[in-house]
Structure 1
Amino acid sequence: MTPRTILQVIPELQTGGAERTTVDIARALVSAGHRAIVASAGGRLEAELLAVGGEHIALPLATKSPLGLWRNSRALARLIRHEGVDLVHARSRAPAWSALWAARARKVPFVTTYHGIYNQKSALKAFYNSVMARGDAVIANSHYTAELIASRHPLARGRISVIHRGSDLAALDPAGIPQARKTALAERWGLAPGERVILNLARLTAWKGQRVLIDALAELAARGTPETEGWVAILAGDAQGREDYLRDLEQRIEAAGLSGRIRLVGHCDDVGAALALASVSVVASVEAEAFGRAAVEAQAAGVPIVATDLGAAPETVLAPPEVAAEARTGWRVRPGDASALAEAMGSMLALSPDERSRLVARAKAHVAASFTVEAMCTATLAIYSRLLAQRA
């Protein structure tokens, strides 16, 4: 592809799958000789974007007010004109409306990625969500998401492509994580030598299921069986201002008599080190995940995973009945079922070294075949190339 200037728009560059994907695509664009611009309100990942050669334009793209959307569309149209932008890629609904109007005004291709399962309980919300299906190409991050888009927005069917969220598998290999990083994180979390870590990497919000997880951990602790003892649970995630929810979790932990054994540690910047310290990883969501990056990254890091059986989980975590028990790469359980979650965590803690080794090998092969950042970037840049060739 001839060197191009690609603009990605996203509300902020804080933390999450959409934000991480934005930086990954910017890195791939720069590596391929293109110019990568990201417009957002900024955040934690802005420094990383600049480090990989991307450029950042600060705009208040998190706003949802009609006046704010219109002002942002004008700003984006100016940006497209002044910077010679060849294609615009939107990753969230509010900035997508601004980007759509700007791209149409400047006559450049417009791409969207459907990163989430958006609430759609009214005609007005359906219209608001529909911007994510208005791209010249519409990227779904899983087959589950693609089916959802097609059912909600039938006119988009011919423009939907499935590109699974890709992870940097090499960066998650525990053998490549320096001991100093693991030691520093273990000290920060107050881990004692020999403690087995049950890890939940998710922002603190009710739909991520931390309440269910705490109830399941209470059941697990009550069993007191030797093979499932010696654990501490780390709930690593930012409350993002949800102080009432944070206090509720703290009270729930105290009521279960597990203060100190279940730890709310805040945001974790070093996912590789966190997974290298983990014995078990848990995705406890009670609402559907459009993709479920945490489940993929746990498998890539060689950590047994249990995830709730919602959304794209059957794509990311192979388990009965879709596959035989000996082909499983993890466990899936009913959402909201604390007893089933406790049972799965107990099964993982009780794995023999040989059983764990075989499970880990299957899981690593599964994610390497389907969920690499390289495959995601190659497929995305191919869509850019196709659309730009059509406009030539």
Structure 2
Amino acid sequence: MPHGQITDTGRRRLIVLQVLPALESGGTERGVIEVAEALVAAGHRSIVISAGGRMAGRLTEQGSEHVQIDLGTKSPLTLRHIPWLRRFLLEQNVDVVDIHSRMPGWITFAAWKSLPVCRRPALVSTVHGFYSVNSYSSIMCRGQHVVAVSDSVADYIRQNYSFVPEERLHVIHRGIDQAEFPRGFRPTMAWKTEFFHQFPEAANKKLLAIVGRISRLKGHLDFVRLVGELRLHDHEIHGLIVGDVDPRKSAYREEIRQKIATMGLHDHVTLTGHRSDVREIYSISRILLSLSSTPESFGRTVAEAISIGTPVVAYSHGGVAEILAAEFPEGAVECQNFGALTARVRQVLDRADLCIPGVNRFEKSAMLERTLELYEAASEHRNGSR
């Protein structure tokens, strides 16, 4: 469908570019792909620039275009891409560009700023985290429209980047697909057989899981310590550490393994590596843990686990605190209070009658609808000001 035509929904067809460092794994990456899918489904043209990664295939399979350029490396050499990106914005006649990370944000902003005002696409910046407060991070608040992925992120922006007026700040909570994470989901027997064949040490155990990218801020050392503490009273406890590690941070993975060995937990904590079947892992786990030492902007794994009915115990701050307050307040624990964490996990394990309300207040469909509405409104304003 040519640019400017009307889609089947009666809306003008947009060309939307999203920019981020890579498409390996993580909540930011999944959100970008979900928005890209929604754009294509609505009849728009979706383009993503990144350095690539394991999730790029899904992006192109559903109809988006992927341009593999590394704009995320913090190096003066990355600046050489500014002229190329400037030409790309002009040649592709991009209507809206949405930046999702700081270094790609600076490259995009420089290319965008160099365009004649009448040729600039609408500039959106989506703030996915609580970045260190400095000039470098300020790029995430320099969009014509600034999207905060939770109320906590919006408060962070208001407190630290007061130059963003309220009319430019939009809170659009990230969301999950309840059809993908349905209440009461149970994996197939074939899946369980294969999983426990791969990880026999986890079979017939009370499984606790921590899911997400392996980085120091995510609290894996607290998780290992928790498993060790719980096993003093319950030998059926077994921990699952689910997620991959950035090759540049492999030393932290070795630190986790050393902690496991020091505590004598070699047979009681499993590092699964990257898994695409986290829904199934949530479903076989008695509790999902979220133990980040710094606030999460949203807490996707927390929302996903609660959606299928798996209890969550988490340090209560940032976006995770918002999810727990709305959907499972019993799981909230004071941040870094290990004694309270251990006690709360024991309480949840002991409560056979525990019931999680089946209302999902963080729906992906609402997030996508609001995001596309913002893109359309931003584009209309941009075209009206030409």
**Whole-angstrom CA distance in 1 between matches of 2:253 and 2:139:** 33
Answer whether contact 1:27 1:52 (CA < 8 A) is retained: yes
- Partner of 1:172, secondary structure, is coil
Q: 1:244 offset after TM fit, Å? A: 2.0
Matched, 1:371 2:343: no
Residue identity matched to 1:172 = F
> Identity rate of aligned residues, in percent?
31
1:341-380 equivalence runs, <5 A: 341-352=341-352, 355-356=353-354, 358=355, 360=356, 362=357, 364-365=358-359, 368=360, 370-380=361-371
- Partner of 1:374, secondary structure, is helix
Q: Any idea what the Cα deviations from partners look like across 1:260-316, whole Å, max 9, x if unmatched?
A: 111112112211121122111000111111111111111012100011022122211
Q: Which runs of 4+ in 1 moved over 6 A?
A: none
Q: 1:196 offset after TM fit, Å? A: 2.1
Larger mean CA deviation between 207-216 and 174-183 belongs to: 174-183
> 1:277 is matched with which residue?
284
**Whole-angstrom CA distance in 2 between matches of 1:206 and 1:56:** 31
1:116-265 equivalence runs, <5 A: 116-120=129-133, 126-158=134-166, 159-173=168-182, 174-175=184-185, 177-190=187-200, 193-224=203-234, 229-241=235-247, 242-265=249-272
Q: 1:348 offset after TM fit, Å? A: 1.6
**Whole-angstrom CA distance in 2 between matches of 1:180 and 1:160:** 47
Q: 1:340 offset after TM fit, Å? A: 1.8
Q: 1:11 offset after TM fit, Å? A: 0.4
- Partner of 2:295, secondary structure, is coil
Larger mean CA deviation between 309-318 and 1-10 belongs to: 309-318
2:105 to 90, 96, 99: 96
Alpha carbons of structure 1 residues 191 and 297: separation in structure 2 relative to 1, 3 Å? farther
Structure 2 unaligned regions, length at least 5: 1-10
Answer whether contact 2:201 2:268 (CA < 8 A) is retained: no
> 1:384 is matched with which residue?
375
**Whole-angstrom CA distance in 2 between matches of 1:99 and 1:38:** 13
> 2:52 is matched with which residue?
42
Answer whether contact 2:202 2:268 (CA < 8 A) is retained: no
Alpha carbons of structure 1 residues 77 and 214: separation in structure 2 relative to 1, 3 Å? same
Q: Any idea what the Cα deviations from partners look like across 1:179-205, whole Å, max 9, x if unmatched?
A: 433433333232555322111002221
> 2:17 is matched with which residue?
7
**Whole-angstrom CA distance in 2 between matches of 1:55 and 1:164:** 25
> 2:7 is matched with which residue?
none
Q: Any idea what the Cα deviations from partners look like across 1:34-90, whole Å, max 9, x if unmatched?
A: 01000000001100001111110011112222341x322222222212222111000
**Whole-angstrom CA distance in 2 between matches of 1:50 and 1:13:** 12
Answer whether contact 2:185 2:308 (CA < 8 A) is retained: no
Answer whether contact 1:118 1:129 (CA < 8 A) is retained: yes
**Whole-angstrom CA distance in 1 between matches of 2:350 and 2:251:** 35
> 2:42 is matched with which residue?
32
Residue identity matched to 2:236 = G
Answer whether contact 1:182 1:274 (CA < 8 A) is retained: no
1:68-83 equivalence runs, <5 A: 68=78, 70-83=79-92
Answer whether contact 2:152 2:297 (CA < 8 A) is retained: yes
Answer whether contact 1:201 1:294 (CA < 8 A) is retained: yes
> 2:301 is matched with which residue?
294
Q: Any idea what the Cα deviations from partners look like across 1:216-254, whole Å, max 9, x if unmatched?
A: 221111123xxxx52211011212122221222112112
Number of equivalences: 366
Residue identity matched to 2:177 = D
Answer whether contact 1:182 1:276 (CA < 8 A) is retained: no
Alpha carbons of structure 1 residues 265 and 4: separation in structure 2 relative to 1, 3 Å? same
- Partner of 1:50, secondary structure, is helix
1:267 to 258, 261, 274: 274
Answer whether contact 2:49 2:66 (CA < 8 A) is retained: yes
- Partner of 1:381, secondary structure, is helix
Return the TM-score normalized by structure 1.
Answer: 0.89
Q: 1:329 offset after TM fit, Å? A: 4.5
Q: 1:156 offset after TM fit, Å? A: 0.8
> 1:123 is matched with which residue?
none
Query: More helix by proportion, 1 or 2?
Result: 1
Larger mean CA deviation between 248-257 and 275-284 belongs to: 248-257
Residue identity matched to 2:33 = V
**Whole-angstrom CA distance in 1 between matches of 2:319 and 2:299:** 7
Alpha carbons of structure 1 residues 385 and 260: separation in structure 2 relative to 1, 3 Å? same
**Whole-angstrom CA distance in 2 between matches of 1:100 and 1:178:** 48
Structure 1 unaligned regions, length at least 5: 121-125, 320-326
Answer whether contact 2:231 2:237 (CA < 8 A) is retained: no
Return the TM-score normalized by structure 2.
Answer: 0.90
**Whole-angstrom CA distance in 2 between matches of 1:67 and 1:256:** 45
> 2:5 is matched with which residue?
none
> 1:108 is matched with which residue?
121
Q: CA RMSD in A?
A: 1.8
Answer whether contact 1:197 1:233 (CA < 8 A) is retained: yes
Answer whether contact 1:110 1:135 (CA < 8 A) is retained: yes
